[in-house]
Amino acid sequence: MIAEARDGAQTLLKCLEAGGIEYMFGYSGGAALPIFDALETAGTKIKFVLARHEQGATHMADGYARATGKPAAVLVTSGPGAGNTITGIMTAHMDSIPMIVITGQQVTWMLGKDAFQEADIFGITMPVVKHSYLVKDTDDIPRIAKEAIHIATSGRPGPVLIDMPKNISQGPCNAPLDMPMDLPGYHPEIANVFNQEDVIAIADALNRSQRPLILAGHGAMLAHAGPELKFLAETCQIPVTSTLLGKGIFPESHELSLGMLGMHGTAYANKAVCEADLIMSIGSRFDDRIIGQADKFGRNATIVHIDIDPSEIGKMIRPDLQAIGDAKVILAELNKHVTRLQTQSWLATLNGYKKRFPLGYKKQGGLKMQHVLDVLDTLTKSKAVITTDVGQHQMWAAQFCKTEAPWDWISSGGAGTMGFGFPAAIGAQFGRPGEPVIAVVGDGGFQMTLFELSTAVIHKLPLKILVLNNHYLGMVRQWQELFFDNRKSGVDLEGNPDFVKVAEAYGAKGFQIKRPADIEKILTRALEYNEGPCLINCEVLQEDNVFPMIPAGAALEDMIIEKPKYRMEKPIGST
C-alpha cells in the first residue's frame, strides 16, 4: 500500500493537484524551499508562475479565479513574503474569491521565538481569510489540502491560508494522499436546502408587485445563476440592475438591463431603486456604496434578500422577505411560481429615464477616459475580459464597457485595491488563453504593481494594458474639488514615468494616444497585437469628474448628475 517515499511538500502539491489546482502564482524564499523543490521533484502538473512581488501573485490568483470560476494557489515564503500577501488575501476575502495561499514558515520548534523571517501569518491574516491552518503534523497534509480546497470553493467562497513550517514540508509523509475531511462545523451543502415557504412568499410578493426591480450581485455569478436570472427577468418582465461585481450576470445590452447602480451607477438604475415597490437582491450584500443612506434605501419597497450567507441578512438592510441558500437553486424554484407581470408602464417610465439621463460625455475638449473606454467597448463588441484598478477609470469602465457575459468583468469591489487590475489581468489571461484580456488602469494604481510587466512579457501574454493617465489620483482629486474647496492634497502624480518607455524597457510593446482622433486607430492596432503584452498610454484630461454621483452616506434620491454650482457639504459616509 505504501507508495514511494514522499515528503510533506510533495504530498501537498499532489493533493492540491488532485483537488483541481492548475496554477500556482508565487515568489520563492528560504522557508518555502522544500515546496519549491517539490515543484521540480513531485512530478506535478501544476504550473508555477513566478511573480515579481507577492501581492502581484495573490492578485494573479484572484484574477484567474474571477475569470474562470476555479481557484488558483499562491505560494510564498515566510515573514515578509507572507506579509506581502495580506492586501491580496483581503481583496479576495472582501469579494468572496476562492484562493489557496501557501506560506512557508520557520521550523515548528522555533515558532514564537522571533526567528529569522518568522511572522505569525496565521494570526495576522485571521480577519481576512475564510479559514486558515498552521500545519503541525506532516501526516495532516492530505486532509488539510482537501479541506482547504473544499472550504475555499464551497458555500460563500473565500481565501484559505495554509502555513507550512519548513520541517513539515521537508519531513516524510506516510499518510495516504486521499484522506477524509474532518469539518464538523462546516455544512455548505445546506445551501441547496431552502425553505419552500420563503420562496412561495417571495413569489407571492413578486406576483403582486407593479414596479419590481432585480438587484443582481456577485453571489448570483458565483452560483452560476445567470440562466435562471434571465428566465425570471424575461418571464416576469422585471428590470435588472447589477452591482459592480454583478456586471455580466445579466447582459447589459438587454432591454431590461439598467446597468450598474450605486454611487457612480446609472441615473436610471438609482431612480428605479427609489421608485420600485419591490427590490429583490440576488447575491448582493447591500454594500454601502449601493444603498447610500441605509434608512432611506427602498423605503417604499418590499425588500427581498436572497443570499447564501445568513450573516448578510439584516446586516445592512433588514429585508421584508428572505431566502437563504444557493441563488441558482432558489431561483430555479422561484421560477416555477411566477407569472408575467403587468410592468409595461413601469418599464416605460424607466425607458424615459434612460432617454433623459443617459451616460454621456462630450467628445470635444480634449481626450477623455470615457471616450477611450466607449471606443474600446465598440471595438471589442463588449466581448473582452476587462480588469480594472480602482478609481475614476474603474467607474467609467463600469459605465461604458458593457459586460455581456459572466466572468468577463474583474474589479476589486469591496476592498477597492489599487494595483489590482494589471496582475489580475495576468491571472485572467492564464485562465483564458486566446481570449482578449484588457487591464484598464490608472497611472496611480498601475505604478503599484507595474513590475509584473516582467511576468507578462516572459509568458508572452497578449494582454493589453490601457493606462488612463491623468497624472492625478483622480477620484481623490474629484472629492477634493467637490468637497474640500478644490484643495489638492497628496494627489499630484508629478514624476510619472514615460509609460511607453517603461513598457519597452520590459520588452513589451508601447502605444500612445494623445488626441481623440487617435483613439480608434491606435486601439485597433493594440487589439490586433498579440505577440505579447502591450501598453497603451492615454494622456487624458487631467481634471474631469465621474457622474452620476451619490455622495458617500447620502440617500439615492440625492444623486447628482453634474457638478453642482453650489458648494457641497462634506459627505457623511467614509468613501
Residues that bind other proteins (CB under 8 A): 122-123, 126-127, 130-132, 134, 151, 183-186, 309-311, 313-315
C-beta of 159: minimal distance to other proteins in Å? 13
For residue 391, CA distances in Å to 361, 420, 547 come to 18, 11, 13
C-beta of 145: minimal distance to other proteins in Å? 15
C-beta of 273: minimal distance to other proteins in Å? 23
Residues acting as catalytic residues: 54, 116-117, 166, 475
CB of 62 or CB of 307, closer to other proteins: 307
Q: Residue 116 class from Cβ within 10 Å (0-12 exposed, 13-18 middle, 19+ buried)?
A: exposed
Please name the helix (run of DSSP H) or strand (run of DSSP E) that holds residue 456, with its range, or none: helix 453-458
Q: Which stretches does DSSP call E strand in 476-533?
A: 509-513
Place of cell 476587462: 386
- Residue by residue, DSSP assigns 407-444 as T-EE---SS--TT-HHHHHHHHHHHSTTS-EEEEEEHH
For residue 449, CA distances in Å to 53, 87, 314, 445, 456 come to 8, 12, 37, 7, 12
CA 172 to mean position of chain CA atoms: 39
C-beta of 158: minimal distance to other proteins in Å? 10
Alpha-carbon span 383 to 361, nearest angstrom:
22
C-beta of 110: minimal distance to other proteins in Å? 17
C-beta of 437: minimal distance to other proteins in Å? 33
Alpha-carbon span 397 to 528, nearest angstrom:
21
Give the cell for residue 502. 517603461
CB of 126 or CB of 458, closer to other proteins: 126
CB of 37 or CB of 309, closer to other proteins: 309
The phi-psi region of residue 516 (left if phi > 0; otherwise alpha if psi is between -120 and 50; otherwise beta) is: alpha
**Closest residue by Cα to residue 386 from 422, 355, 413, 354:** 422
Alpha-carbon span 241 to 273, nearest angstrom:
9
CB of 311 or CB of 342, closer to other proteins: 311
CB of 222 or CB of 428, closer to other proteins: 222
CB of 94 or CB of 425, closer to other proteins: 94
Residue ranges of the alpha helices (H) in 256-405?
267-275, 288-291, 327-334, 344-356, 369-379, 392-400
Q: What share of the chain is helix, strand, coil (3-state, %, to 5)?
A: 40, 15, 40
CB of 135 or CB of 390, closer to other proteins: 135
Alpha-carbon span 93 to 108, nearest angstrom:
27
Helices (H) then strands (E): counts for the chain: 23, 20
DSSP state of 466: E
C-beta of 263: minimal distance to other proteins in Å? 24
Classified as helix, coil or strand, 163 is: strand
Q: How many CB atoms lie within 10 A of CB 316?
A: 17
CB of 156 or CB of 464, closer to other proteins: 156
Give the cell for residue 117. 523571517
C-beta of 144: minimal distance to other proteins in Å? 12
CB of 158 or CB of 427, closer to other proteins: 158
C-beta of 91: minimal distance to other proteins in Å? 18
Alpha-carbon span 370 to 547, nearest angstrom:
11
